[in-house]
Structure 1
Amino acid sequence: MRQIYINKEDFETNIALVEDGKLINFYSQRNIYSKVGNIYKGKIQKVVNNMNFVFVDIGDEKPGFLSEKAYFESLEIEPQIINNIKDNNKENQFDISKIFQKGQDILVQVIRSPYKTKGARLTRNIIIPGYYTVFCPYSNQIGVSKKIILENERQRLRKILLDTKAKLKSDIGLIARTTAEGISNQQIEEEIKENYNNWQNILKLYKKVKSPALLYEEEAFEIKISRDILNTSIKEVIVDSENVYKDINKYVKKTKLKNIKIKLYKGQDDIFKYYNLISQIEALKNNIVPFKKGGYLKIDTTEALTVIDVNSGKFKGESDVESSILMLNLNAAREIARQIILRNIGGLIVIDFIDMQTEENKKILRKEIEQELSKSKIYFKTTEINEFGLLTVSRKRTSDKISEMYLEQCPNCAGRGVVPTKESICIEQLKKIKYICKIEKKREIVFNISSEIKQEIENRFIQIIKNYEKTYKKKIILQ
């Protein structure tokens, strides 16, 4: 049985997808960074001709980044413009200065939030996702999810999309998601029309406001994730916030998923602690991960790549050495894929398996990890396992890795170890403060914390402290 647990705080939202007590996916977002999916009217701040990308001011502290490649992937540019600027019909030869100029207004969508020294990653390939469909205003293609196998159903959905497109008299693109299978024509058409109206409102607002400006804000993180993972396999959704409880109820009714039970958790303990999930979530911060029959993984993350090393540990195999190594590597591959999905690891991933001699076994191993990674919707590709036992995975980055949110390199050991980020320490303190406020009867509560963390809370999270004082009718003193 599968359940979804949602923890909503003022500062972050955490969502756990659990099957038979085992954590199979974990989503976490600091609420102050919620930008992915937002659509902006930006202003081009700088054009970098030799690199073919531009920096766009969307109102953030750092400008967003839009590459020339993303631009041409996303727009059907008028043929005469392409003819004027192309060179030998190669996109990478296009002179970006003929398309963009400094000070020009531009409509963009955030595909990755700002991270450390980097601004938000932007695209012109704007999409507005619904539960059943994806609305693509800058495409004219009609598509159906590959996971819908029955040809009759695929044809039915294509017809619905084409008919709705014709009714709207708009040359838009539409994709039927897996959740559209078996859904009535009316429900799908209503959702498309709703997103079409959203798009028209965005265009009207674009003409009215000065750049930079937010034109469209993506739905709350918990609704966005629910949109992606809610299906008939989910039996319960348990939330610890009354507002989220109402929102999820409203959303589930809209999707006609009748058999899902929505429960409001009102306990004083952390929801993950109460349902015995804390240890599994905390384990995501460890770089040593044991797997079946005594082996273990060592996961090292840098800004450039992630390296996963397979170690035999106490593993005892068969008398046939090659078969034993294959068994060890297959067990490792399953856990590696699980950890990649759980920790939201993207970008370049290098996996160092135990060396095997036969090409056939290498193919078996590669197929196994591809099959396990396919359990996530995120795009990836792998290379062949080389003579040194190395396999490379390139996986699309969608948001920050769990390690990036919670950990940073230790300043005292030349980066060989990791420590909790200052922000993570503040959040843990805020959770403790909230819990004590719930159970303590005194009207005035004193919390002793380090001067550095006290200053950080007062600088960045003081409004949350004030909210706690108002909600729990307490006087909170930090010292």
Structure 2
Amino acid sequence: MSEELLLSVTPQETRVAIIINGVLREILIERQRARGLVGNIYRGRVARVLPGMQAAFVDIGLQRSAFLHAANAVPKIDDRVSRGVDGGTVPDIKLLVREGDTVVVQVLKDPLGSKGARVTTQLSIASRYLVLLPGSSRVGISQRITQPSERERLTQQVIELSTQLDVKAGFIVRTVADGASVESLKSDLLFLVRSWEVIRERLNSNDVGLLHEDLPLTLRTARDLVTEETTRIRVDDQATVEALRDFARDFLPQTSCRIEYYSGAQPIFYLFGVEEGIQEALATTVQLQSGGTLVLEQTESMTTIDVNTGGYVGRHNLEETLFRTNLEAASAIARELRLRNIGGIIIVDFIDMEETEHRHDLVRVLTEALHRDGAGAQVADMSDFG
């Protein structure tokens, strides 16, 4: 698999396109006047407690108060406790916070419409290889690192480094740490510790407001998106190229040589048809190569996707035509969900098929396609309605 990152930078906004095997897979946009808040850490004050919703509203200095659910207001010992399932319990919100309390929270979800940001008291600070968990003592490993020997090596190395440096915190080892050297892990760990120390110093103030802001999109791209498959990072702004190279020298030395300044006559997003892909992502109908179509409709409660054969008539029999159209649609759906950043409940109306084996194969292909595109999706079995 070949992967390339294209960065288009202007004073007003930054856009990042992820190209895999020559096809646009994802587009990220950050506007200077409306930067996302996810990952930011704030000192807040509890403005209102709502026992009936197991939640509280927290003033963090923004236009609208943030929403803190009880499950996000307790230490995350494990998933059962934080989610309140499989025997885990979530304490009453009245036992966790009171009106007027000062709390330190991190944004999980940006404000949307009339709703404020969703926040948690379970803080985390990310770097290239590690995520620091203040107040925790556990070491977790990304599930995508599958080899038992590598998981054990990384766990032991992080524990040993934490002990040597007397770090009182937990860590999550990210997927890109697979094969990382002890020196790289140590550098990452020290960076995170320094970042947390800066935040703790700012806690001495009693003012409500921002304590820590996540990196801008350009640097987050290098931190989070560059993998071994990334062959080139092309940027159309010289100052951004220098900033990325400086960042790479400190944290991603093996990446510096892949960062290039793009000075072509055409805008960088005309490469690989990125601009065209963005316009297509705004349309409700998606054309499949076979002649079939997807029709996507988004509402507040869910997204529906309708699969049609369109002009595809097949070569053999009707069942085979429907099966092939559905298979192509499954791969396209995974791409469109990532490209359009669609989450929540998604209902797909595939074309009805008679053979049970074809139905099972379709669910398997859809699940694999979603997994390849990095979507943390849960796929239910196909219903009797198709």
Which residue type is aligned with residue 230 of structure 2? I
C-alpha distance after superposition, 1:180-218 (max 9, x if no partner) = 222221220121122022112212211x22231211110
Scaled by the length of structure 1, the TM-score of the pair is: 0.74
> Aligned partners of 1:90, 1:262: CA distance in 2, in Å?
47
1:12 matches 2:10: no
Secondary structure class of the residue paired with 2:98? coil
Q: 2:200 aligns with which of 199, 203, 222?
A: 203
Residue equivalent to 1:41: 43
> Aligned partners of 2:373, 2:272: CA distance in 1, in Å?
24
> Aligned partners of 2:342, 2:255: CA distance in 1, in Å?
34
Residue equivalent to 1:213: 209
Residue equivalent to 2:81: none
Secondary structure class of the residue paired with 1:118? coil
Q: 2:120 aligns with which of 116, 119, 123?
A: 123
C-alpha distance after superposition, 1:104-143 (max 9, x if no partner) = 1111001111111111111122111111111112332212
Does structure 1 retain, via aligned residues, the 8 Å contact 2:41–2:106?
yes
1:91 matches 2:89: yes
> Aligned partners of 2:278, 2:227: CA distance in 1, in Å?
23
**Distance change in 2, residues 1:59/1:336 (3 Å):** same
Scaled by the length of structure 2, the TM-score of the pair is: 0.91
Q: CA deviation at 1:40?
A: 0.5
Which residue type is aligned with residue 183 of structure 1? A
Question: Structure 2: 5+ residue runs without aligned partners?
Answer: 79-83
Q: CA deviation at 1:23?
A: 0.8
Q: CA deviation at 1:302?
A: 1.5
Residue equivalent to 1:226: 222
Does structure 1 retain, via aligned residues, the 8 Å contact 2:23–2:272?
no
C-alpha distance after superposition, 1:336-392 (max 9, x if no partner) = 011001111111111111112233322211111111111233422111110111xxx
Asked which structure has the greater CA Rg, the reply is 1
Which residue type is aligned with residue 221 of structure 1? L
Which residue type is aligned with residue 195 of structure 1? L
Residue equivalent to 1:387: 384
Residue equivalent to 1:66: 68
Secondary structure class of the residue paired with 2:199? helix
C-alpha distance after superposition, 1:280-321 (max 9, x if no partner) = 222111111011311000011112211111111011224333
**Distance change in 2, residues 1:45/1:30 (3 Å):** same
Which residue type is aligned with residue 20 of structure 2? E
**Distance change in 2, residues 1:277/1:99 (3 Å):** closer
Percent identity of paired positions between Structure 1 and Structure 2:
28
Q: How does 1:337-348 map to 2 (within 5 A)?
A: 337-348=334-345
Q: Which has the higher contact order (CA 8 A, sep 6+)?
A: 2
Residue equivalent to 1:454: none
Q: 1:244 aligns with which of 236, 240, 245?
A: 240
> Aligned partners of 1:129, 1:298: CA distance in 2, in Å?
37
Question: Structure 1: 5+ residue runs without aligned partners?
Answer: 77-85, 390-479
Does structure 2 retain, via aligned residues, the 8 Å contact 1:231–1:257?
no
Residue equivalent to 2:135: 138
**Distance change in 2, residues 1:306/1:42 (3 Å):** same
Which residue type is aligned with residue 102 of structure 1? E
**Distance change in 2, residues 1:384/1:73 (3 Å):** farther
1:53 matches 2:55: yes
Q: How many residues align?
A: 376
